[in-house]
Structures are given as C-alpha cells and as structure tokens.
C-alpha cells in the first residue's frame, strides 16, 4: 500500500530534476531497491506508470535492481544475506537473530531505495537521449 507514497516521492523528485535541467522528456530511470525494504517492485512499477501519465515521465523505462540484504552479527561476526534455514512464513525476510549464536543481527545494507541513474532529453542533446 505504501508503494504509492514512496513512488510519488520518486516521481516528485524526478519531475523536480527534469524541470531543473529543462528536460523535454525522461527516457530511462534506474532504481535500486534493497530487499530488506518492504517494497514490492511490481507495485512500484504499477504506481510509477499511473503517476507518470501526462508528465515528462510518461513512456519512460523504469529499470529496477534489487540489492540483497546484508546482515552482520555484532557478537560472533557472522555475515550473511539471509537466514536461509527458516520456514516459509518469512517470505524472504530474514529474522534478525544470528543463525550461529542467536544474538541480534544488525542491518548493514540492502535497506535502501535510491534513484541511481536517469536518462533524459536535454535541449542540447536533441534527439539523442544520451546520458546527461
């Protein structure tokens, strides 16, 4: 549900940027979303399409990259992506207990939501859509 809020923040930021750069059209947007963020990428794409309508973002390609979650145990220094030996109820979200010693794990990465790259048509790069 909150994908709509987050996607509207993404779209707002892109529209601000396009305006600032005087872009006539946004061609491609790269998003990086951590797998520890409870964001459904399908939902983000769906909301993006709706929010892009009637703006310079309409018709742009939205590319998403999912970054695995990085966890570290503060007690025994265990490092890992997922506590894989857990049951299906977790839907890929790891418990924050160390699989080796049971202590609490801290999140070291994979919790971001970042606009990594944008390609847009600038007045000086007419027709090219080259990275600007």
Beta strand ranges found along 5-124 (DSSP E): 25-34, 61-67, 70-73, 79-80, 105-109, 113-121
Question: By C-beta, is 21 or 55 nearer to other proteins?
Answer: 21
CA distance linking residue 129 with residue 126, whole number of Å? 7
Task: Please state the closest distance from residue 118 (CB atom) to other proteins, in A.
Answer: 5
The CB-of-13 to other proteins minimum distance in angstroms stands at 6
Residue 59 vs 95, nearer CB to other proteins:
95
Which residues contact other proteins by CB under 8 A? 1-2, 5-6, 9-10, 13, 17, 21, 37-39, 87, 89-91, 93, 95-97, 102-104, 112-120, 131-132
Question: Would you say 5 or 79 has its CB closer to other proteins?
Answer: 5
Q: How many CB atoms lie within 10 A of CB 55?
A: 14
In angstroms, give the least distance from the CB of 50 to other proteins: 14
Nearer to other proteins among residue 39 and residue 57 (C-beta): 39
Rounded Cα gap, residues 110 and 116, in angstroms: 14
Say if residues 37 and 44 touch (Cβ distance below 8 Å): no
């Amino acid at each position: 549900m909150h994908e709509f809020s987050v996607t509207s923040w993404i779209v707002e930021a892109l529209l601000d940027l396009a305006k600032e750069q005087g872009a006539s059209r946004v061609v491609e947007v790269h998003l990086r979303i951590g797998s520890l963020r409870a964001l459904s990428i399908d939902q983000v794409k769906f909301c993006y399409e709706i929010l892009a309508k009637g703006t310079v973002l309409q018709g742009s390609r939205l590319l998403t990259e999912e970054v695995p979650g990085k966890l570290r145990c503060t007690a025994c220094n265990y490092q890992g992506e997922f506590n894989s030996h857990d049951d299906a109820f977790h839907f890929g979200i790891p418990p924050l207990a160390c699989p080796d010693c049971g202590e609490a794990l801290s999140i070291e990465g994979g919790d971001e939501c970042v606009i990594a790259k944008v390609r847009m048509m600038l007045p000086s790069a007419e027709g090219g859509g080259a990275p600007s």
